[in-house]
Amino acid sequence: MRLLNLIVVAALVAAAAYVYKIKFDSTLQAERVAKLRTEIRRERDAIAGLRAEWSQLDSPARIQDLAKRHLSLTPLQATQIDGFDRLPERPARVAPRPADDPIGAMIDAVHGDATGSVKPAARTR
């Protein structure tokens, strides 16, 4: 009987030690989670601050002010813009030889169908 009591007491002490270990480990994990949440909150605040700073730096009014202050740009004059009728003529197209450009020759061989398919080049034996 006495041996049975000792075994039961030892089992209770072992169970209590195991429960204490689990509680200690869970407390450590909870502290780690709290620390990570604090870091995440700090990083999110830093990101929000950087986004606000970026939007301020990326402001078109600020960029225009900097351009006026540091660049010697002049406004566009209406006389700088010309019509399409004053453009020079397009240069004449020189057709490439099929030996130099086989893909271009295949494109030129298209009959103009709406599907956009390419007619295969004639085979020579």
Question: Domain ranges in the chain?
Answer: 2-70
* Residue 44, SS3 per DSSP: helix
- Lowest-pLDDT range, 39-48, 49-58, 109-118? 109-118
- C-alpha to C-alpha distance for 102 and 93, rounded to whole angstroms: 17
Buried b (16+ CB within 10 A) or exposed e, 40-68: eeeeeeeeeeeeeeeeeeeeeeeeeeeee
Eight-class DSSP state of 40: H
Supply the Cα-derived Rg of the chain in whole angstroms: 40
More confident residue, 26 or 92: 26
**pLDDT for res 95:** 61
**pLDDT for res 124:** 58
Mean pLDDT value across the chain: 84
What's the whole-model pTM score? 0.45
pLDDT in tens, 63-105: 989 988 988 888 888 888 888 888 888 877 766 555 677 777 7
Share of the chain above pLDDT 90, in %: 49
**pLDDT for res 72:** 86
What would the mean pLDDT of 101-118 be, rounded to a whole number?
A: 63
Residue type, 9: V
Instruction: Confirm if 96 and 106 have CB atoms less than 8 A apart.
Output: no
Confidence tier at 114 by pLDDT (50, 70, 90): very low
Confidence tier at 109 by pLDDT (50, 70, 90): confident
**pLDDT for res 115:** 52
